[in-house]
């Protein structure tokens, strides 16, 4: 179960008539979204594709020690966030998935090469455009390592490419080398691609894929709440609350906040407007950024993600530690509100696949609505291209 409270700690900042005015446009915004050409992520995924993903994952687990996912941004954050929520902090027994391709650090890549040198690994390179620099470099370096060990024919088993159906260098490579491949549909952008093989294949190695699919589509029931969330944020923005701080009280949710930052940041941050998304992992960051949030510049509002129950019971003086963690969360929301910081709350009964996947859909809907409320195209990211062009010129390409 998921509960939403966008009112208790925002009421002083939001006039009912302002909120109602925007909320009354809900049906128009739903229509706008449904008419958008980039909403393939709302369409049910084909059963045959799910079967293919399951079959491929089964084969990877049978043939290899680990899978190296190479991708960046929307091409890795969804499955990375999900995996980090459900794997164990210590003594993790899940099938090893390494997420590479997110850095140009030679220290990282060199150490990764050393780690993989004697491993029997498979690569899943994921890039819709097929031109992303970090992905391209990491893929080349790891492929070179494989080439030194295997024949051209053997290599086919070790490489899986997830990319556009028709265009790009990776698709050409699939055609030339006959590698196994999956498609990121044309009408689904990177940050909205959770329900595609880009994320489902790495996840299928360790999690029941049908449960992920069902949970995700179950998130559709949250459409009104997603609009409510978008409207609340938009009204807060008009009160000069320009920064949204996503606060989690579980370290394992930290990568989920990275996914949220990309989703909202790339969706809204255009034309000189938009809410800047940031995040805190509490209680740790109460001892670093807590002071600023409580008493600093009042441009911040917060969204707390709360988890009611945990399977891990730790007693402290007759109280469950999870309860203590949540007492702190409630107290912080109250204190920050008193300090002029509006706080919104999203509460999951527990960290289950059902709750997390529904929340993924909820946030995607909400981000898309939010982009539209800011008058932006929620599905492009022209600003990212600007630096890429500079890099290409600097590298002489």
- Give the residue at shortest CB distance from ligand PA5: 190
Work out which of 56, 84, 135, 326 binds ligand PA5, going by CB under 6 A: 135
Residue number, 152 or 397, with CB nearest to ligand PA5: 397
Can you tell me the distance from the alpha carbon of 176 to that of 159, in angstroms, rounded to the nearest whole number?
13
Report the SS3 class of residue 310: coil
Report the SS3 class of residue 372: helix
Q: Does 302 bind ligand PA5 (CB under 6 A)?
A: no
Q: Does 266 bind ligand PA5 (CB under 6 A)?
A: yes
Where does this chain touch ligand PA5 (CB under 6 A) — which range of 184-192, 204-212, 232-240, 368-376?
184-192
* Cβ atoms of 53 and 382 closer than 8 Å: no
Long-range own/partner contacts, residues 45-48 (CB < 8 A, 24 or more apart): 45/195, 45/196, 45/200, 45/213
Residue number, 132 or 366, with CB nearest to ligand PA5: 132
Q: Does 189 bind ligand PA5 (CB under 6 A)?
A: yes
Where does this chain touch ligand PA5 (CB under 6 A) — which range of 183-191, 269-277, 351-359, 368-376?
183-191
Work out which of 14, 39, 67, 191 binds ligand PA5, going by CB under 6 A: 191
Work out which of 39, 56, 132, 138 binds ligand PA5, going by CB under 6 A: 132
- Within the chain, residue ranges assigned H as helices are 16-23, 26-34, 47-63, 77-86, 106-116, 133-149, 152-158, 169-177, 197-204, 209-218, 223-238, 254-268, 290-295, 321-338, 353-373, 382-394
Q: Least distance (Å) from ligand PA5 to the CB of residue 269?
A: 12
Residue with tokens 């043939």: 63
Residue number, 266 or 354, with CB nearest to ligand PA5: 266
Q: Least distance (Å) from ligand PA5 to the CB of residue 105?
A: 18
Q: Least distance (Å) from ligand PA5 to the CB of residue 389?
A: 14
Length of the chain: 397
Residue number, 246 or 259, with CB nearest to ligand PA5: 259
Q: Does 199 bind ligand PA5 (CB under 6 A)?
A: no
The helix-helix angle for 223-238 and 26-34 (nearest 10°) equals: 110
Q: Does 190 bind ligand PA5 (CB under 6 A)?
A: yes
Q: Tell me, rounded to whole angstroms, the distance of Cα 18 from its chain centroid.
A: 31
Residue 351 exposure: Cα atoms within 13 Å on the Cβ side: 22
Q: Which residues pair with 319 in a beta bridge?
A: 316
Work out which of 83, 128, 233, 336 binds ligand PA5, going by CB under 6 A: 128
Report which of 189, 206, 218, 255 is spatially closest to residue 357, judged by C-alpha positions.
Answer: 218
Can you tell me the distance from the alpha carbon of 320 to that of 312, in angstroms, rounded to the nearest whole number?
9
Can you tell me the distance from the alpha carbon of 299 to that of 238, in angstroms, rounded to the nearest whole number?
11
Residue number, 56 or 196, with CB nearest to ligand PA5: 196
Work out which of 36, 103, 129, 349 binds ligand PA5, going by CB under 6 A: 129
| Contacts of ligand PA5 in 23-82 (CB under 6 A) | 72-75
Give the interface size with ligand PA5 as a residue count (CB under 6 A). Answer: 15
Catalytic residues: 266, 287, 388
Q: Does 162 bind ligand PA5 (CB under 6 A)?
A: no
Residue number, 167 or 384, with CB nearest to ligand PA5: 384
Q: Least distance (Å) from ligand PA5 to the CB of residue 136?
A: 9
Where does this chain touch ligand PA5 (CB under 6 A) — which range of 106-114, 150-158, 188-196, 279-287?
188-196
Can you tell me the distance from the alpha carbon of 125 to that of 371, in angstroms, rounded to the nearest whole number?
29
Where does this chain bind ligand PA5 (CB under 6 A)? 72-75, 127-129, 132, 135, 189-191, 266, 381, 384
């Amino acid at each position: 179960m998921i509960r939403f409270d966008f009112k208790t700690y925002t009421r002083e900042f939001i006039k009912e008539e302002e909120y109602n005015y925007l909320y009354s446009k809900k049906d128009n915004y739903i229509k706008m979204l449904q008419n958008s050409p980039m909403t393939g992520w709302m369409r049910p995924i084909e059963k045959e594709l799910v079967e293919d993903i399951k079959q491929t994952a089964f084969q990877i687990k049978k043939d290899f020690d680990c899978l190296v996912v190479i991708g960046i941004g929307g091409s890795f954050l969804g499955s990375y966030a999900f995996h980090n929520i459900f794997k164990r902090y210590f003594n993790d027994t899940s099938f090893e998935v390494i997420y590479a391709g997110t850095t140009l650090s030679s220290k990282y890549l060199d150490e990764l090469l050393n780690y993989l040198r004697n491993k029997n690994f498979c690569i899943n390179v994921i890039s819709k455009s097929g031109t992303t620099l970090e992905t391209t470099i990491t893929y080349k370096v790891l492929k070179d390592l494989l080439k030194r060990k295997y024949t051209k024919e053997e290599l086919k088993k070790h490489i899986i490419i997830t990319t556009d159906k028709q265009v790009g260098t990776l698709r050409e490579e699939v055609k030339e080398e006959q590698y196994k491949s999956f498609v990121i549909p044309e009408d689904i952008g990177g940050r909205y691609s959770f329900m595609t093989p880009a994320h489902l294949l790495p996840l299928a190695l360790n999690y029941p894929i049908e449960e992920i699919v069902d949970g995700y589509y179950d998130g559709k029931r949250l459409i009104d709440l997603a609009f409510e969330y978008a409207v609340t944020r938009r009204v807060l923005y008009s009160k000069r609350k320009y920064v949204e701080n996503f606060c989690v009280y579980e370290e394992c949710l930290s990568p989920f906040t990275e996914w949220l930052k990309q989703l909202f940041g790339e969706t809204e941050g255009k034309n000189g407007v938009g809410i800047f998304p940031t995040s805190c992992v509490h209680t740790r960051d109460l001892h670093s950024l807590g002071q600023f949030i409580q008493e600093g510049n009042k441009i911040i509002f917060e969204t707390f993600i709360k988890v009611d129950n945990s399977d891990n019971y730790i007693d402290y003086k007759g109280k469950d530690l999870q309860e203590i963690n949540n007492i702190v969360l409630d107290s912080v929301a109250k204190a920050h509100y008193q300090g002029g910081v509006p706080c919104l709350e999203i509460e999951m009964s527990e960290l289950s696949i059902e709750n997390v996947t529904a929340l993924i859909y909820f946030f995607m809907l909400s981000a898309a609505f939010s982009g539209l409320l800011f008058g932006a195209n929620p599905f492009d990211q022209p600003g990212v291209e600007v630096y890429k062009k500079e890099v290409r010129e600097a590298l002489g390409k």
